Each structure stands twice: as structure tokens, then as C-alpha cells.
């Protein structure tokens, strides 16, 4: 619920930044004003500002507040789902993610803030509570929360450019027993997420990196096994 409320605040502020209502260099409304405007808690407001900061839209200065930055140019990096056609392409995407997300987990554990920890916990809880049809979005939300917890907006930009298709495509190429509707598969992924999340929340950077490598490596092994059986 907190994550959903924070997203509403993010959308509202982001639209004002993008349409110029809040100009570069202008200070965001105070926490008290945002609490009144959106009828949310201080925690929700702080999470929303953290997300805007992670997107490179605002910068926060101790004791002065948060100020709007110039809107960055749209990223030119995009991977369309239609461009990933074969199992080889999906394996290459997993290899790419291994190189990125293992370090993201390491940095998330190293630079964890209370706001980042809350997002990771919320994502873990949401995945555990997700219905089978919601598993892909909830899975992506967890990986996105880890990226956001790094405090490095480029990790977040990269995962946003990939989107939930980075989760969906490997699953569409797994055999039926590993499909995203299979409860046993979802439970395996939940345990792997729990291991990553626990290490990040404990500030154990090396274990967080290793746990993410195990998680993505298991996905890769399942995909290769499924491909050999279908060949």
C-alpha cells in the first residue's frame, strides 16, 4: 500500500516537473505541504522524493530541501521484446543481467538507506502475496527495488528501459513445469528473492552479490535445461 501511495505522489510531482510547472532549480513543496496535498504519511512522501531523486529529477540538500533538476534527455538505450526472438537471445539477456544486477545487489547492500530498505521489504512482501498472474510484475518490482536501493539512478534507468519483459521472456521459454503459473517455480523464486533481500537488508554486500548471482544463474540453468529437453 505504501508503495502504491508513493507512486501516486511520484506521478503528480513528475508531471509538474516535466510540464515545467516545477522549473529546474525550483524547490519542491515542503513535506508538510505534500502530506496535506496528497493525504499521505511522511514516510510515503519521503519514499516518493527518493524515487524522484533516483530518476535524476531532483537533488536533495541537507537542511535545504529538494530541488528540481533539468529534465535529462531520454535514454537511447532500449531493448524491445520483439528483438529477443530466440533462446540464445534470452540467455544473452540473462548474461547481461548477471553483469549488472549482481553489482546492483552489492551496491544496494553497501548504500542502503531506510527508504531503500522499506522498498525492498515491500517488494518482497508483494511478491509473496502475488497471485500467479501478477508474479511477473511483482518479480520485476523486486529487481527494480534493489536497483533503486543502490542510490545510483543509472541502474534504475537501465532496469526501467528493460521493463517487466526481462522477467517474462525467460519464463515463456521454460517448459511447463517451470512456467510462471507454476506454484513450485514461484516458490523457488520467492526463496531466491528472500536470500537476496535478506543480504541487502543486512548490509552484507558480498552475500547480496552472491545471492543475486545464484538467483539469475538458476534461471539460466532452468532455461538451458528446458531448451535441451525441447530440442
CA quadruple 79, 82, 83, 85: dihedral sign: positive
Give the mean pLDDT of 125-138: 85
Phi-psi group of 63: left, alpha or beta (phi > 0 → left; psi -120 to 50 → alpha; rest → beta): left
Asked if residue 81 lies in contact with residue 38, where contact means CB atoms within 8 angstroms, the answer is no
Whether 175 shows a pLDDT value over 60: the answer reads: no
SS3 for 74? Answer: coil
Mean pLDDT of 70-97: 74
The pTM score is 0.64
Where are the alpha helices (H) located in 55-182, listed in sequence order? 87-110, 114-129, 135-149, 153-162, 165-172
Percent of the chain with pLDDT over 90: 53
**pLDDT single digits (tens) 20-51:** 899 999 999 999 999 999 999 999 999 999 98
SS3 59: strand
9: pLDDT strictly greater than 80:
yes
Amino acid at each position: 500500500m505504501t508503495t502504491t501511495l508513493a507512486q501516486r505522489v511520484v506521478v503528480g510531482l513528475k508531471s509538474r516537473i516535466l510540464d515545467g510547472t516545477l522549473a529546474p532549480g525550483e524547490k519542491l513543496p515542503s513535506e508538510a505541504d505534500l502530506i496535506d496535498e496528497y493525504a499521505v504519511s511522511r514516510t510515503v512522501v519521503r519514499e516518493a522524493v527518493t524515487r524522484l531523486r533516483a530518476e535524476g529529477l531532483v537533488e536533495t540538500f541537507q537542511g535545504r530541501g529538494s530541488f528540481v533538476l533539468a529534465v535529462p534527455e531520454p535514454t537511447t538505450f532500449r531493448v524491445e521484446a520483439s528483438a529477443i526472438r530466440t533462446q540464445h537471445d534470452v540467455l544473452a539477456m540473462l548474461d547481461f543481467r548477471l553483469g549488472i544486477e549482481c553489482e546492483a545487489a552489492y551496491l544496494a547492500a553497501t548504500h542502503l538507506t531506510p527508504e531503500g530498505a522499506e522498498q525492498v521489504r515491500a517488494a518482497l512482501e508483494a511478491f509473496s502475496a502475488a497471485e500467479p498472474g501478477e508474479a511477473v510484475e511483482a518479480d520485476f518490482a523486486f529487481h527494480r527495488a534493489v536497483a533503486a536501493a543502490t542510490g545510483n539512478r543509472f541502474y534504475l534507468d537501465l532496469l526501467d528501459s528493460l521493463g517487466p519483459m526481462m522477467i517474462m521472456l525467460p519464463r515463456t521459454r521454460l517448459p511447463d513445469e517451470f512456467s510462471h503459473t507454476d506454484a513450485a517455480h514461484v516458490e523457488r523464486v520467492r526463496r531466491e528473492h528472500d536470500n537476496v533481500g535478506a543480504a541487502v537488508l543486512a548490509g552484507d554486500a558480498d552475500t547480496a552479490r552472491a545471492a543475486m548471482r545464484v538467483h539469475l544463474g538458476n534461471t539460466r540453468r532452468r532455461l538451458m535445461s528446458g531448451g535441451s529437453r525441447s530440442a
